[in-house]
Amino acid sequence: MKLKTIFTINYVIAFLFGAGFVLLPALCSSLMGFNVTGDSALIARGMGVFVLGTGVLTFFARNASQSEARRAIILSLFTLYILLILYKVSLNLVDGIPFNLMFASIYVVHVALIVSYGYFLFGPPGENRIATSSTSDT
Q: Considering the domain boundaries, does residue 131 fall inside one?
A: no
Q: Considering the domain boundaries, does residue 81 fall inside one?
A: yes
Q: Specify the number of domains making up the chain.
A: 1
pTM: 0.83
**Domain that residue 100 falls in:** 3-122
What is the Cα–Cα distance from 122 to 9, expressed in whole angstroms? 20
Q: Considering the domain boundaries, does residue 129 fall inside one?
A: no
Q: Is residue 48 exposed (0-12), middle (13-18) or buried (19+ Cβ within 10 Å)?
A: buried
Q: Phi, psi at residue 63, to the nearest 5°?
A: -105, 10
Q: List CB contacts of 6: < 8 A, sequence separation 6 or more.
A: 113, 116, 117, 120
Q: Considering the domain boundaries, does residue 127 fall inside one?
A: no
User: pLDDT digit string (tens) for 47-80?
Assistant: 999 999 999 999 999 999 889 999 999 999 999 9
Q: Considering the domain boundaries, does residue 12 fall inside one?
A: yes
User: pLDDT digit string (tens) for 83-132?
Assistant: 999 999 998 899 888 888 888 999 999 999 999 999 999 987 655 555 55
Q: Considering the domain boundaries, does residue 133 fall inside one?
A: no
Q: List CB contacts of 51: < 8 A, sequence separation 6 or more.
A: 14, 17, 18, 21
CA quadruple 6, 11, 16, 22: dihedral sign: positive
What is the Cα–Cα distance from 120 to 62, expressed in whole angstroms? 13
Q: Considering the domain boundaries, does residue 128 fall inside one?
A: no
Residue 48 in contact with residue 19, Cβ under 8 Å? Answer: yes
Geometric angle at alpha carbon 137, from 61 and 74, rounded to 5°: 40
pLDDT at 136 over 70: no
Q: Considering the domain boundaries, does residue 36 fall inside one?
A: yes
Check residue 131 and give its pLDDT: 54
